[in-house]
């Protein structure tokens, strides 16, 4: 069954039931993971901006955002050991688990192994999959980036909520009470969305602007 949620610019939910399962099926046993790519860069978004980071991009996503620029459908099967060895090839203290949607696979064995190897762990999720409770012990920093859906209940901790501000973004979609910090990130850095974001920030001075500085610097 295809559980992918499709979103368009004008109708952000298309062809799906209103109720989304609170726990998406998790693929695999966690000992081998579908990995799209592993690369080194500088964190370009949110509160960790500027920190050298090894990114582990997990394959597949349960959403299909019209503005998505991430190629996450291709992948290689990698064992936890292989992923840790690949991370060791890069000079970063942090490992960021991203996607696609990283919570579509069982991350516990990988996070235990990366933690044992001394890495600090960051995850970015779209917030429609309920995380396993153990992950909150293993992952230090949680970014939830809701794509025009409310964040599902079950997050023990959200360090930052990061919203993409585009044509259909509305301030009343923000859930300020569930996260430490709210970030607004203009969609694709388009001037109209930068202006829209700056306008919203005048009404919510405790929220913050997130820019994709890795894109500006032409980094991976």
Binding site for ligand SF4 (CB under 6 A): 61, 63-65, 68, 70, 72, 99-101, 126, 147
Residue closer to ligand SF4, measured from CB, 101 or 132: 101
CB of 36 to ligand SF4, least distance (A): 10
Taking alpha carbons only, the member of 58, 49, 42, 150 closest to residue 97 is 58
Structure tokens given for 199: 């306008």
Residue among 65 and 84 whose Cβ is closer to ligand SF4? 65
Q: 98 or 113: whose CB is closer to ligand SF4?
A: 98
Assigned token pair, 65: 């955002």
Helix (H) or strand (E) holding 108: helix 108-116
Q: Least distance to ligand SF4 from the beta carbon of 132, Å?
A: 19
**Ramachandran quadrant class, 50 (left: phi over 0; alpha: psi -120 to 50; beta: rest):** left
Q: At what angle do helices 80-88 and 108-116 cross, to 10 degrees?
A: 40
Q: Report in angstroms how near the CB of residue 103 gets to ligand SF4 at its nearest.
A: 11
3-state secondary structure of 34: strand
Taking the complex as a whole, how short is the minimal distance between the CB of residue 188 and ligand SF4, in angstroms? Answer: 11
Cα Rg of the chain, angstroms? 17
Q: For ligand SF4, give the closer residue by CB, 108 or 149.
A: 149
Q: Minimum distance between the CB of residue 167 and ligand SF4, rounded to whole angstroms?
A: 15
Beta carbons within 10 angstroms of residue 114's beta carbon: 23
Under a CB-based contact definition with an 8 Å cutoff, are residues 119 and 89 in contact?
A: no
Shorter beta-carbon distance to ligand SF4: residue 48 or 148: 148
């Amino acid at each position: 069954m295809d559980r992918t949620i499709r979103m368009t610019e004008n109708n952000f939910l298309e062809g799906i039931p209103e109720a989304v399962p609170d726990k998406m099926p998790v693929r695999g046993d966690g000992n081998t993971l579908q990995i799209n790519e592993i690369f080194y860069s500088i964190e370009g978004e949110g509160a960790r901006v500027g920190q050298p980071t090894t990114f582990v991009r997990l394959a597949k996503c349960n959403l299909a955002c019209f503005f998505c620029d991430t190629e996450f459908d291709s992948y290689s099967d990698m064992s936890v050991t292989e992923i840790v060895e690949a991370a060791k090839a890069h000079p970063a203290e942090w490992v960021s688990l991203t996607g696609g949607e990283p919570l579509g696979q069982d991350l516990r064995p990988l996070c235990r192994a990366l933690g044992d190897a001394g890495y600090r762990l960051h995850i970015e999720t779209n917030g429609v999959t309920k995380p396993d409770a153990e992950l909150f012990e293993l992952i230090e920093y949680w970014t939830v980036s809701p794509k025009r859906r409310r964040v599902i209940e079950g997050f023990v901790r959200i360090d930052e909520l990061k919203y993409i501000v585009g044509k259909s973004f509305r301030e009343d979609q923000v859930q300020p009470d569930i996260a430490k910090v709210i970030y607004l990130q203009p969609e694709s850095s388009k001037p109209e969305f930068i202006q829209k974001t700056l306008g919203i920030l005048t009404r919510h001075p405790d929220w913050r602007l997130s820019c994709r500085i890795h894109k500006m610097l032409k980094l991976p």
